[in-house]
Amino acid sequence: MPAGGGESWRADWRADAACVGENLEVFFPLGDQATHHALSNQAKEICARCPVMATCRAWALRTSPEFGIFGGLTAHERRLVREGRWSGQGPRRASRTDAA
């Protein structure tokens, strides 16, 4: 589990996530472009109401999972954040600075 950086990390933060009990296929969308887009939007809606979204996003930015939606960001969006090219479009509960 990530630690350090002055944040208060709880080992069990995932237990509080809004995605617990949701269909994991939503967070790892496959299929044609329309299906992928629809599932990605559904995942981001779940993330937007998640009480641990900022923690999840920070974890994903630190660990760089190759696939999936974490903290309301796709793998591509996380790469843009890490490169400093994120436009800021996405769930508003957490921001780029939450993971810094």
Residue pLDDT, tens place only, 47-100: 999 999 999 999 999 999 999 999 999 999 999 998 888 776 654 444 444 443
Q: Residue 19 annotated as binding?
A: yes
- Please state the domain extents for the chain: 23-99
User: What number is the average pLDDT over the span 37-49?
Assistant: 96
pLDDT at site 89: 61
Distance from C-alpha of 45 to C-alpha of 67, rounded to nearest angstrom: 18
pTM: 0.74
Distance from C-alpha of 84 to C-alpha of 78, rounded to nearest angstrom: 10
Residue entry with tokens 């790892």:
28
Could you read off the pLDDT of 8-22 as tens digits, one per residue? 556 688 999 999 999
Quick one: pLDDT band at residue 7, thresholds 50, 70, 90?
very low
Q: Residue 47 annotated as binding?
A: yes
Amino acid at 18: A
